Structure 1
Amino acid sequence: MKFNIRTTVLFFSVFFSVQLYAQKQVAITIDDIPNTKRFQKDGFQSLLLKKLDSLQLPIAIFINEGKIYETDSVSMNFRLLENWVKRSYITLGNHSFSHLRYSDAGLTVFANDIYKGEAITKELAKKYSKPLKHFRFPFNDLGKDTLQHKEIENYLTQKGYRITPYTVESEDWAYSTVYEYYLAKNDIANAKSTGEKYVKKTIEFFEFFEMLGTQQYKRPVRHIYLCHDNLLNADYLPKIVKLLKTKGYTFVSLDEALQDSVYQQKDNYYKKWGVSWLYRWMKSQKEATAIMKKEPDNAEIEKLYDKITKG
C-alpha cells in the first residue's frame, strides 16, 4: 500500500493525537490569591509559593484583589501579589474583587466587582508581559437560572474573559479550616491526621473523576484541579503531586488543558451550585445527580467544618 505525503501527515497527526489523549494530564489551579492573613501569620512569607517554586509545575492562579486590604500591611501585600504574578510558571486569572456570590449579587454589582478586581492585576500583567484572560466564579456560582448565566457570560465575553472550569475538587477549604483549627490548639496529631486524610481523599476524587471522564468520552480527559491558597496546601500539595505522578499524571498549563475538546462543550447546568464541569456537560441533570451521589464521601470533614465554623 502506498502512502503519499498527505496520507502520511494525516496518519502521524492522528497517531500523536491518540497518544496525547492516552496520557493522564492535569492542570493545577489555585483560587483566593493572595492569602494575606496567612502571609502575616507566617512572618510575611508565602509558604505555598515557596513550595510551588520547588515543584516546577505550571500553575494558574485566580486573584481576589480585595485580599490586599484584609490586613494593615497593604504595601507588603501588594508585593506579595507581585511575587505571585512575576513567576514564569504562573498563569493569571481574575476571581473578582471581593468574592461575592453572583446569584445573590446580580449582574450589575457582580460585573462591577469583576472590573474592580482587575485593576492592579492588569497593571502587573502588563509589567510582566502576561495576558489576563481567565475568570473563575467565586463558589463556582454561575447564576441561579438561565437568564443570570447568559447575562454574565455575555459580559465576560465582551471583556475578553473565558470562564474557567474545573473537573476535580476535593473540598480543601473544609480540610484547611479543620487543619488550622487543630494547629491553633497545638493538637499536632489531629492536624497531621487531617492533612493525611486530605491527601487520601483528593486521590480518591481524582480516581473517581478519571473513571467518570473516561466512561463519558472513551479516553482520559485533561483534568483541571481546583484548590486554594492555604497552609494545608503549602504542607500537603507536594505530596498530592508526588502521588499523582506515581499514578501516571503529567502536569500541564491551564491553556494546554483547555485545548482538550471536552472544554468546547455547552454547559447544560443552570443552577447556582458549584459542580464539576463533567456534570455540567451532561444533558440529563437527573443522571448527573445520580452520579454525584457516588462521589467519595466527605461527610466527616464537612461535619467537623460545620462544628468549628458554626460554633
Structure 2
Amino acid sequence: MRRLLACCLSLLAVASHAAEPDRRIAVTIDDLPWQRMATTSPEDLRTRHAALLAQLRQAGVPVVGFVNEDKLEVDGVAQPERVAMLEAWLDDGHMLGNHTYGHVDAHVVGIPAFQDTILRGERVLRPMLAKRGQTPQWFRHPYLRAGRTAEDKTAIGDFLASHGYRIAPVTVDNGEWVWAFAYARVLDGSALDGSADTPERAAVLERLRLGYVPYMLNKIDYYERQSQALLGYALPQILLLHANELNAVAYAELIAGIQRRGYRFVTLEDAMRDPAYLREDGYHGRYGPSWLHRWAMAEQKPKDFYAGEPVVPRWVLDLAGVDSE
C-alpha cells in the first residue's frame, strides 16, 4: 500500500511539473546612455553608470539597450566620455538598438520628422557597431507610440525595415520609470524639501528599493495571466526597463526575483521567434500599451479582459512628482 501511495504521489509530482508553463523573458533597457542625463552631474553619472553595469554583470542575463543619441551630445557635439559609456555596454556583450535622437513622440512630430530622428539616432551607433562587425538591428518607439493610424504605423514600419531595423515590442509594460523618478528625486533631495543625506532620506530610498521589485514581479505575473487568457500559453515576454539610478541599485535583485518566479532569460531574438509576435497590432490611439493588449484589442476583447493590472502606489507617484503612470 505504501509503495502504491508513493507511486501515485510521484506521478502527481511529474504531472504537476509537466503542467508548469515554459516561462521565458527577454530584457530591454531604454534611454541609454542614461535616463536623466541632463540633470546628473558628470561625477554622479560616472559612478551611477558604473554601478548599473556592475548590476548587469552580477545578473548575467542578455540585454538589448536602446540609445537616444542626443544624450551623447553637448551643444551638438558628441562627447567622448558619453560615447565610451555605450562602448562599455558592447564590451560587456550587450546589444544596442536605436531609440531615436531626442526620444521624440511620433504622434506629436509627425512621420517625416520622426523618420529623420531615426536616422539621426544612428549617426554614432551605426559606425560604432560597424567596427565590431555589427549593424543596428532593433528599434524601440519612444513612449511605445507606434502611430495613431494604421497608415502611420505602416509608414514607420516600412521605413524601419528599409534601413535594416526590426521593431522591439514590449509585453511587460510597467511604471518602472515612476519608481525611478521617485528614487532619483529622493536621492537628489528635491522630493523631500531639499533634505540632504539624512536617515529620513536613506529610509525612503530603502522603501522605494524594497517596494520596486515586488511591484515589478506583480506586473510580470499579470502579463503572464494575460498571455494565458489571450493566447492559451505563456508567451516569451519582453520586459521594459530604463538606464537609471534605481536599476543601478536594484536590477540584480529584480532579475533574481524573476528567476525565482520560474523564468529563464532569453535574447530578444529568441523571444521574437514566437509566432504571436506576427499578430496584428490592433491599437490606434495616443498611448503606448503592451503588445499583449494591442493584440487583445485586435480581437475586440471586452473591457474586463484588462482588469487587475497592478498600479504604482500613490506615495510613489507623489515622490516622483507625477499624477499617474
TM-score over 0.5 for the alignment? yes
Alignment RMSD: 2.4
- Counterpart-to-counterpart distance in 2, 1:155 and 1:104: 18
Tell whether 2:203 aligns with 1:199: no
Residue of structure 1 in register with 2:182 after alignment: 178
Deviation of 1:249 after TM superposition, in Å, equals 0.7
Name the amino acid aligned to 1:169: D
The sequence identity of aligned pairs, in percent, is 26
- Counterpart-to-counterpart distance in 1, 2:322 and 2:290: 26
Tell whether 2:38 aligns with 1:24: no
TM-score, normalised relative to structure 2: 0.82
- Counterpart-to-counterpart distance in 2, 1:98 and 1:63: 10
Tell whether 2:113 aligns with 1:113: no
Tell whether 2:264 aligns with 1:250: yes
- Counterpart-to-counterpart distance in 2, 1:23 and 1:231: 32
Do the aligned residues in 1 keep the contact of 2:27 with 2:268 (CA within 8 Å)?
yes
Q: Within 5 Å, give how 1:66-145 maps onto structure 2.
A: 66-69=70-73, 74-88=79-93, 90-145=94-149
Please, which runs of 5 or more residues in structure 1 have no aligned partner? 1-18
Name the amino acid aligned to 1:127: K
Residue of structure 1 in register with 2:312 after alignment: 298
Residue of structure 2 in register with 1:166 after alignment: 170
Residue of structure 1 in register with 2:57 after alignment: 53
- Counterpart-to-counterpart distance in 1, 2:130 and 2:91: 11
Name the amino acid aligned to 1:30: I
Residue of structure 2 in register with 1:40 after alignment: 42
Please, which runs of 5 or more residues in structure 2 have no aligned partner? 1-17, 190-196
Which deviates more, 145-154 or 228-237?
145-154
Deviation of 1:29 after TM superposition, in Å, equals 0.2
Deviation of 1:299 after TM superposition, in Å, equals 4.7
TM-score, normalised relative to structure 1: 0.86
Tell whether 2:212 aligns with 1:213: no
Do the aligned residues in 2 keep the contact of 1:269 with 1:285 (CA within 8 Å)?
no
Tell whether 2:287 aligns with 1:273: yes
Distance 1:147 1:82, change over 3 A: same
Deviation of 1:305 after TM superposition, in Å, equals 5.3
- Counterpart-to-counterpart distance in 1, 2:41 and 2:78: 10
- Counterpart-to-counterpart distance in 2, 1:285 and 1:302: 34
